[in-house]
Structure 1
Amino acid sequence: MTSTVELSTVSRWYGNVVAVNDVTLTIGPGVTGLLGPNGAGKTTVLHLMAGLLAPSQGTVLVGGVPSWRNPDVYSTLGLVTERESVPGFLSAWEFVLASAKLHGLPDPPRAARAALDIVELGAAVDRRISTYSKGMRQRTRVAAALVHDPEVLLLDEPFNGLDPRQRLHMMDLLHRMAGEGRTILFSSHILEEVEQLSGTVQVIVAGRLAASGDYRHIRRLMTNRPHVFLIQSSDNRLLSTVLMRHPSVSGVELDPAGLQVRANDYGTFTRVLAKAARAEGIRLTGILPSDESLEKVFSYLVAA
């Protein structure tokens, strides 16, 4: 119970602007991805969970107790915000040690060493943070959030600015912490990040919970929607005639860039396309989805 985060009919508005609209969800141990386009309300949801914002309506519980106006909740909760706020003149050791002291831990140096060991900064812990790479600064902030050994860890866009190697390191770190039984929720606007890291997904669009479930379920909702492809081939006119015979295709249009095809089912169409081209001796030179922006995908989820 201590590692469960619950939102029940939660809304948050600023005057006439609704940032979060009637969201109900429960986050338990493991890694959960909070997915949505920029401006969808992900940061507001995280700040509500962390007790930095009061819900305008509904209840937010961490470990069964309200997070708003409850300083005790921070004994079980750690937060890594999207915006960096790490003083560059300190070393990682000094920064994490200060966090341990602020938490009133009985042995701050020991707690700081344990947290820094988890993020594997090595000998760099004594260097000034201003000399760190983006990935090292992120790990420093994670260490500060972990110094009191919280059961719940909230991370807002933790992969922003990281190179591929740093992303893999951060993903491995979060997997290991989830394996220890922690509840980890991270926000992202990139579907592939959620796919690699999280089995459970909460999709937020325009402040609403648009979809919820395991990754395969969410991916199925996305791939089974209507899709538009731009196809280039050795004979676009013949290919358009052939494709129009198949029930998985609802529309075909020739334009200078290639063949615009509207398909009812992603999986069926891709199989039909390959077989049709092979049967007619047509060489495919390009297949590009032309409607894969997250905004379009999420708009479909909201309407589904």
Structure 2
Amino acid sequence: MTSVELTEVSRWYGNVVAVNDVTLTVGPGLTGLLGPNGAGKTTVLHLMAGLLAPSQGKVTVGDQSAWRNPEMYRQLGLVTERESVPGFLTAREFVLASAKLHKLPDPEAATRRALGIVEMEAAQDREISTYSKGMRQRTRVAAALVHDPKVLLLDEPFNGMDPRQRMHMMDLLHRMADEGRTILFSSHILEEVEQLSGTVQVIVSGRLAASGDYRHIRRLMTNRPHVFTISSSDDRRLATVLIGQESVSGVSMTDGSLQVHASDYGTFTRALAKLARTSDIRLTSILPADESLEKVFSYLVAT
């Protein structure tokens, strides 16, 4: 098992601070890297990949320093956001070059395996200049996977992919995560992150704003009321019962269901069932209305 760690890391360019005193650990499994444009996500990925030196602090992959350490690349694969694929090469030639750079014992076999993983066998002998953006992206992923790395860093990996290709890539990332690989990916499409992983690292203005499961992060936000949509056998009577509770800050009827604003997630959820039972009211559904990744992200960015 290989983890990536940043310890009190800062990176600045002249007077511009891109990353400010960030400490985080990315372990085995799938982790999403989130943040507004210009927040420092790409800088964090480049620090992890050893492409940038930290101005302060330490970056390690496993037990090795990421900076000026070519050996580290034996266990790390990187797909950058910016395309830099020579159009005159075929996919097979491009991935084979990566295999040879890694000095693999059988580069041809490794190339076939990597192209098969991303479903590029049929087009592998065409020049990359003839590919769609999604095909170019899959070729770049194949080159990053050719040496079977333990750590995979992906900057906007779904760019240009059609829906079927996205689904295939999501399945692939899930399988690799299940095998124990450490995968960190950035995406500006929150739905993609939510489908892939509940674990996130959120960078805002160069600082780490939150880390962990986004549902747990939401429940720790005590400064924002938690919103629940509740259906029951008698919504109006349940509203009357709840309005007097200390943990409830507001109750309203919306679209035929009861919406409750709770100031304390734990106190409210523990009390709700007991209150309903005491009042002889049957609960049919209880849904957190603002526990999506989109809501959590909007709250973090706004703070």
TM-score, length of structure 1 as denominator length: 0.75
Q: Per the alignment, do residues 129 and 11 of structure 1 end up closer, same or farther by CA in structure 2, a change over 3 Å counting? A: same
- Separation in 2 of the partners of 1:69 and 1:36? 27
- Distance in 1, matches of 2:222 and 2:90, equals 46
Residue equivalent to 2:88: 89
The letter for the 2-side match of 1:104 is K
Distance across 2 between alignment mates of 1:226 and 1:132: 49
- In 1: Cα distance, 2:161 partner to 2:139 partner: 14
User: What residue in structure 1 maps to residue 20 of structure 2?
Assistant: 21
Does structure 1 residue 298 correspond to structure 2 residue 297?
Answer: no
AA at the equivalent of 1:298: L
Shift of 1:204: 0.7
Alpha-carbon distance in 1 for matches of 2:129, 2:16? 38
SS in 1 for 2:160: coil
Secondary structure at the residue paired with 1:160? coil
CA distance in 1, matches of 2:131, 2:219: 40
Q: How many residues align?
A: 256
Which residue number corresponds to residue 205 of structure 1? 204
Q: Describe the SS at the equivalent of 1:141.
A: helix
The answer to whether the 8 A contact 1:36-1:298 is kept is no
Aligned counterparts of 1:60 and 1:164: Cα–Cα separation in 2? 35
Provide Cα deviations, 1:122-167, integer angstroms capped at 9, x if missing partner: 3111122222222221111011001111110000111223332222
> What amino acid does structure 2 have at the position aligned with 1:12?
R
Residue ranges of structure 1 left out of the alignment (5+ in a row): 228-244, 251-262, 269-291
**Match of 2:33?**
34
Question: Matched residues in 1 for 2:152 and 2:174: separation?
Answer: 12
Letter in 1 for 2:170: M
Q: How far does residue 208 in structure 1 lie from its aligned partner after superposition?
A: 0.6
Runs of 4+ in 1 over 6 A off after TM superposition: 292-295
SS of match in other structure, 2:7? strand
Q: Residues of 1 paired with 2:88 and 2:220: CA distance?
A: 48
Deviation at 1:65, TM superposition (A): 1.0
Matches for 1:166-185 after TM superposition, within 5 Å: 166-185=165-184
CA–CA separation in structure 2 for the residues paired with 1:184 and 1:132: 26
Q: Which residue of 1 aligns with 2:52?
A: 53
In the other structure, the counterpart of 1:286 is none
Residues 1-16 of structure 1: pairs in structure 2 closer than 5 A: 1=1, 3-16=2-15
Name 1:103's counterpart in structure 2. Answer: 102
TM-aligned CA deviation for residue 223 of structure 1: 11
Hey, what's the Cα distance between the residues in 2 that align with 1:104 and 1:66? 21
Structure 2 residue identity aligned to 1:88: G
Structure 2 counterpart of 1:132, one-letter code: Y
1:26-80 deviations in Å (ceiling 9; x for gaps):
1111111111111110000000000000011110000111010111111111100
Aligned to 1:186: 185
Taking the TM superposition and a 5 Å limit, the aligned residue runs for 1:1-304 are: 1=1, 3-220=2-219, 225=224, 248=249, 296-300=298-302, 303=303
- Gap runs ≥5 in structure 2: 227-242, 252-260, 269-293
Deviates more, 1:205-214 or 1:127-136: 127-136
Q: Matched residues in 2 for 1:215 and 1:122: separation? A: 38
Identity score, percent: 79
In the alignment, what sits opposite 1:235?
A: none
Give the CA deviation at 1:95: 0.6
* In structure 1, distance between residues paired with 2:222 and 2:79: 32
For 2:62 and 2:74, locate their aligned partners in 1 and report how far apart those are by CA, in whole Å: 11
Question: Hey, what's the Cα distance between the residues in 2 that align with 1:220 and 1:139?
Answer: 37
Paired amino acid for 1:175: H
Instruction: Indicate the RMSD between aligned Cα atoms, in angstroms.
Output: 3.2
